[in-house]
């Protein structure tokens, strides 16, 4: 049987019962489009988390103090200890060769006021190189300078959200004086909006020189975090090990499980978060896959009905010379054609839906060509798998029995 | 002497259903020459349908030999039988068995799909056989479910002719038609026979059988009578027509 004949037979069979073909196809349309949209949502989530994390800076080690342990079993919780000092940061800078930049930070939330407005933001006391390793760039004015660092200057670099809260949008804050915890600081810079939210947002932060933060705000010389940038992605784990060993010996701790600090590796953070989003993608894909499966069963159901209805036709075709293969090919082609057309419509529909969902801004649905190819091949496969049994059943009918069938 | 197109020797067909075996055909032997018009007649249950299935290569005999157009087809596989049916036999059924939503042209061309005939040759072949079958020209592109019974049977006859088969096998071709239309269809078979086609008619109706030149009577799985139609038959026929 020629391809051309197969196609024209398929067309006339499917168009002969438009309502039924359409409804059966609808199952595949819904299945495929939900695969496209939901896998897109999963991949969108992965992409946005990865980009948020890379906003933090690259190849970072984040060293934070552990829990404070006073006498007795009461723990102050991680980060509460004051064991990390600037001397530690200095030692890392001197002794760890795989680390290129080290920045000490002391951050705490304070009430900040300007005239009648006030807000509560994270005030980060830090060093000039913070801007480089944390990807903070300055829109207007300048970041903290070495000079200001040395002189314990009461200067502040503010994020755009802080600017909006204190001054109002589009107001130039440079040169204005704000009060952090009732102490006057002069605004010298405004950072570029980076987006993102929660802990990774630099938009809702104020940066001041580390010394000024220690002397005027915290009243202590300990620091709350050390950021170390490894020389490259390859040396990140080696650097992590070296930093851990160094700090353990400096703090005179022999058992690493009792360490009074923790070293977090940015790559670990990325991989653990992306494993979460991968799980999410698989979960969403599986839910969509179930609807595709149901669509496939719909195809099988329709094909079985068709075979029963067309038993006499099958008998006739066999009587006039059709071989078993001709019959099974015909029914298989009908099933594959249904899923193929359904899959095609589903991809278009799913893609459109993904674009609309992304436009609403609630979630990002990112359609990749891989997911389109996957959806298309899955729909063809569904057609073959669910069309095979009905096609076999049709082709194995004996011509006499089929002709006698009422 | 003309060559035998069908040679059946000791054809036996036995159905086994559990412990019970039923012999439907018992050592049936006969032959049909090229160009004959034969009617196989018998009441229902006589085995004539089973004989037609075997002669039509729709089924294989349990034992015995069946030679069609010189080659033995009694021990072929299903697909080989399909090939034989497609090239050597043209079927006409009681219930026409047309594809209801397809046009007349499409129905007639259906066997060509399985015989790998090039698309461009199909229309001219279809037009030729439709004319032989006496089909009304204006209806060639009508859907077959818009036709009358007589027209449907003509389309079915045209479909049977399209692969230029060795034999035309008609199973109760007038069973679903009124007497007048039935007679027209039988005349079509006579005309085809006059043009040289071998026609085999399976029927339970003696009147229908008398249109043939030879009648094979079958009863309880055996041939009881095999004779040329006599003048008496023909006169009787003319009497009824008149």
Q: Is the pLDDT of residue A366 over 70?
A: yes
CA distance B36 to chain A (A): 22
C-alpha span between B19 and B51 (Å, rounded):
24
Q: Which of A331-345, A370-384, B26-40 has the lowest mean pLDDT?
A: A370-384
pLDDT the model gives residue A64? 86
- Cβ B78 vs Cβ B126: under 8 Å: no
CB contact under 8 A, B91 and A320: yes
Within 8 A of B108 by CB-CB distance, chain A residues are none
Chain B within 8 Å of A320 (Cβ-Cβ)? yes
- pLDDT of B237 strictly over 60: no
Q: Tell me the average pLDDT across A357-372.
A: 83
* Torsion of the alpha carbons at A388, A391, A392 and A393, rounded to the nearest 10: 130
Q: Between chains, do A322 and B82 touch, taking CB under 8 Å as contact?
A: yes
B42-55 per-position pLDDT tens digit: 988 898 989 999 99
What ipTM was predicted for this assembly? 0.90
DSSP letters of A17-30?
Answer: THHHHHHHHHHHHH
| Per-residue confidence (pLDDT) for residue B101, from 0 to 100 | 87
3-state SS class at A94:
helix
Q: Check CB contact under 8 Å for B86 and A320.
A: yes
Average pLDDT of the segment spanning A177-200: 81
Q: What is the pLDDT of residue B241?
A: 46
Task: Looking at the complex, report in whole angstroms how far the Cα of residue B63 sits from the nearest Cα belonging to chain A.
Answer: 19
Q: What's the average model confidence in pLDDT over A299-311? A: 92
User: Between A2, A313, A320, which is nearest B85 by CB?
Assistant: A320
- Per-residue pLDDT, averaged over B175-197, amounts to 91
A53 has pLDDT over 60: yes
Residue A75 has pLDDT above 70, yes or no: no
C-alpha to C-alpha distance for A115 and A109, rounded to whole angstroms: 19
**B227 backbone dihedrals φ, ψ, rounded to 5°:** -145, 150
Distance from the Cα of B165 to chain A's closest Cα (Å) equals 11
Enter the pTM of the model.
Answer: 0.73
A-chain residues near B145 (CB < 8 A): none
- Taking the CA of residue A27 and the nearest CA in chain B, the distance in Å comes to 26
The answer to whether the beta carbons of residues B39 and B201 sit under 8 Å apart is: yes
A396/B contact by beta carbon, under 8 A: no
Residues 15-74, chain A, touching B (beta carbon < 8 A):
16
Q: Give how far Cα A398 sits from Cα of A401, A405, B60, Å.
A: 5, 11, 12
Burial of B26 (0-12, 13-18, 19+ CB in 10 A): middle
Strand order across the beta sheet in which B198-203 lies: B89-92, B167-171, B198-203, B37-41, B214-219, B222-228
Considering only CA atoms, which of A228, A271, A250, A263 is closest in space to residue A101?
A228
Which residues on chain A are in Cβ contact (under 8 Å) with B110? 317, 320
Find, among A301, A368, A369, the residue nearest to A338 by Cα: A301
pLDDT digits (tens, 9 = 90+) for A85-135: 888 888 888 888 888 889 999 988 899 999 888 888 999 999 998 888 888
Task: Tell me the average pLDDT of chain A.
Answer: 86
Q: Do A321 and B99 touch (CB under 8 A)?
A: no
End-to-end CA distance of chain B: 36
- Chain A residues with CB-CB distance to B97 below 8 A: 312-313, 315-316, 319, 403
Query: How many other CB atoms are there within 10 angstroms of residue A347's CB atom?
Result: 22
Closest residue, chain A, to B161 (C-alpha): A320
In this structure, the strands spanning B4-17 and B71-72 are unpaired
Q: How confident is the model at residue B231 (pLDDT cuts 50, 70, 90)?
A: low
- What's the rounded mean pLDDT across residues B119-140? 92
| Residue of chain A nearest B165, judged by CA positions | A320
| Residue recorded with tokens 């091949």 | A377
**Please, which residues 289-318 of chain A have a Cβ atom closer than 8 Å to chain B?**
312-313, 315-318
How far is the alpha carbon of B49 from chain A, nearest alpha carbon, in Å? 10
A37's CB contacts (< 8 A; 6+ apart) are A288, A350, A353, A354, A357, A365
CA dist A383 and A344 (Å) reads 13
Which has more confidence, A79 or B144?
B144
Residue A338: how many CB atoms within 10 A of its CB?
28
Task: Give the HSE-up count for residue A345: Cα atoms under 13 Å, Cβ half-sphere.
Answer: 15
Residue of B58, B111, B119 with shortest CB distance to A399: B58
Written as six digits, the tokens of B48 are 């004539």
Q: How far apart are CA B178 and CA B153, in angstroms?
A: 12
Burial per residue of A113-152, b for 16 or more beta-carbon CB atoms within 10 angstroms, e otherwise: ebeeeebebbbbbbbbbbbebbebebebbebbeeebbeeb
Strand pairing category for A177-180 and A183-191: antiparallel
**pLDDT 10s digits, A228-280:** 888 887 888 888 888 888 888 888 888 877 788 888 887 777 788 878 888 88
Crossing angle (nearest 10°) for helices A3-16 and A18-55: 100
Residues of A in contact with B113 (CB under 8 A): 1-2, 5, 9, 322
What's the burial of B127, exposed, middle or buried (CB within 10 Å: 0-12/13-18/19+)?
middle
Closest B-chain CA to A406: B95
Structural domains of chain B, ranges and CATH numbers in brackets: 4-241 (3.40.50.300)
Q: Closest Cα of chain A to B58: distance in Å?
A: 6
Coil/strand/helix, residue A199: helix
> Quick one: which of A287, A281, A205, A283 has its CA closest to A48?
A281
> Per the CB < 8 Å rule, is B58 touching A400?
yes
Give the pLDDT of residue A71.
46
Quick one: pLDDT band at residue A73, thresholds 50, 70, 90?
low
């Amino acid at each position: 049987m020629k391809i051309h004949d197969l196609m024209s037979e398929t067309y006339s069979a499917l168009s002969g019962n438009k309502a039924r073909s359409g409804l059966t196809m609808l199952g595949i349309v819904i299945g495929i489009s939900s695969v496209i949209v939901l896998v897109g949502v999963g991949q969108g989530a992965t992409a946005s988390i990865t980009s948020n994390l890379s906003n933090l800076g690259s190849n970072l080690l984040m060293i934070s103090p552990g829990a404070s342990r006073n006498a007795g079993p009461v723990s102050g919780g991680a980060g509460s200890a004051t064991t990390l000092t600037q001397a530690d940061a200095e030692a890392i800078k001197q002794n760890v060769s795989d680390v290129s930049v080290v920045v000490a930070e002391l951050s705490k939330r304070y009430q900040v006021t300007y005239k009648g407005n006030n807000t509560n933001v994270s005030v980060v006391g830090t060093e000039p190189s913070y801007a480089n390793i944390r990807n903070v760039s300055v829109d207007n004015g300048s970041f903290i300078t070495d000079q200001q660092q040395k002189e314990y200057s009461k200067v502040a670099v503010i994020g755009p959200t802080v600017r909006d809260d204190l001054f109002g949008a589009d107001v130039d804050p440079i040169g204005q004086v704000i009060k952090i915890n009732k102490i006057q600081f002069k605004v010298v810079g405004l950072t570029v909006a980076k987006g993102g939210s929660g802990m990774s947002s630099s938009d809702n932060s104020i940066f001041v020189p580390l010394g000024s933060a220690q002397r005027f705000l915290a009243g202590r010389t300990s620091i709350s975090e050390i950021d170390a940038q490894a020389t490259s992605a390859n040396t990140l784990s080696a650097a992590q090990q070296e930093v851990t060993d160094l700090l353990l010996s400096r703090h005179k701790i022999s058992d690493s499980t009792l360490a009074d600090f923790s070293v977090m590796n940015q790559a670990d953070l990325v991989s653990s978060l992306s494993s979460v989003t991968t799980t999410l993608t698989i979960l969403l894909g599986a839910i969509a896959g179930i609807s595709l499966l149901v669509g496939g069963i719909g195809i099988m159901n329709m094909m079985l009905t068709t075979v029963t209805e067309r038993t006499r036709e099958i008998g006739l075709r066999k009587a006039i010379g059709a071989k078993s293969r001709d019959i099974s090919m015909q029914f298989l082609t009908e099933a594959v054609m249904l899923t193929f057309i359904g899959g095609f419509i589903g991809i278009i529909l799913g893609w459109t839906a993904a674009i609309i969902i992304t436009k609403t801004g609630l979630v990002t649905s990112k359609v990749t060509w891989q997911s389109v190819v996957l959806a298309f091949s899955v729909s063809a496969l569904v057609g073959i798998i669910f069309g095979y049994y009905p096609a076999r059943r049709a082709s194995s009918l004996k011509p006499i029995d089929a002709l006698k069938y009422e | 002497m003309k060559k035998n197109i069908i040679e059946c020797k000791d054809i036996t067909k036995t159905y086994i259903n559990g412990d019970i075996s039923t012999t439907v055909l018992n050592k049936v032997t006969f032959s049909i020459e090229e160009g004959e018009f034969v009617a196989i007649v018998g009441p229902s249950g006589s085995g004539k349908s089973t004989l037609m299935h075997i002669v039509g290569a729709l089924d294989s005999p349990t034992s015995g030999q069946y030679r069609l157009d010189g080659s033995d087809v009694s021990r072929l596989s299903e697909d080989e039988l399909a090939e034989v049916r497609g090239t050597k036999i043209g079927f006409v059924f009681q219930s026409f068995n047309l594809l209801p939503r397809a046009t007349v042209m499409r129905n007639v061309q259906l066997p060509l799909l399985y015989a790998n005939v090039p698309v461009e040759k199909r229309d001219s072949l279809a037009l030729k056989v439709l004319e032989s079958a006496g089909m009304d020209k204006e209806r060639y592109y009508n859907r077959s479910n818009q036709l009358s019974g007589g027209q449907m049977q003509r389309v079915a006859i045209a479909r049977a002719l399209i692969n230029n088969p060795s034999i035309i096998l008609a199973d109760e071709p007038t069973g679903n038609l009124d007497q007048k239309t039935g007679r027209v269809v039988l005349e079509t078979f006579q005309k085809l026979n006059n043009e040289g086609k071998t026609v085999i008619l399976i029927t339970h109706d003696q009147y229908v059988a008398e249109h043939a030149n030879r009648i094979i009577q079958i009863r309880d799985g055996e041939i009881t009578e095999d004779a040329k139609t006599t003048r008496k038959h023909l006169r009787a026929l003319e009497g009824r027509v008149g």
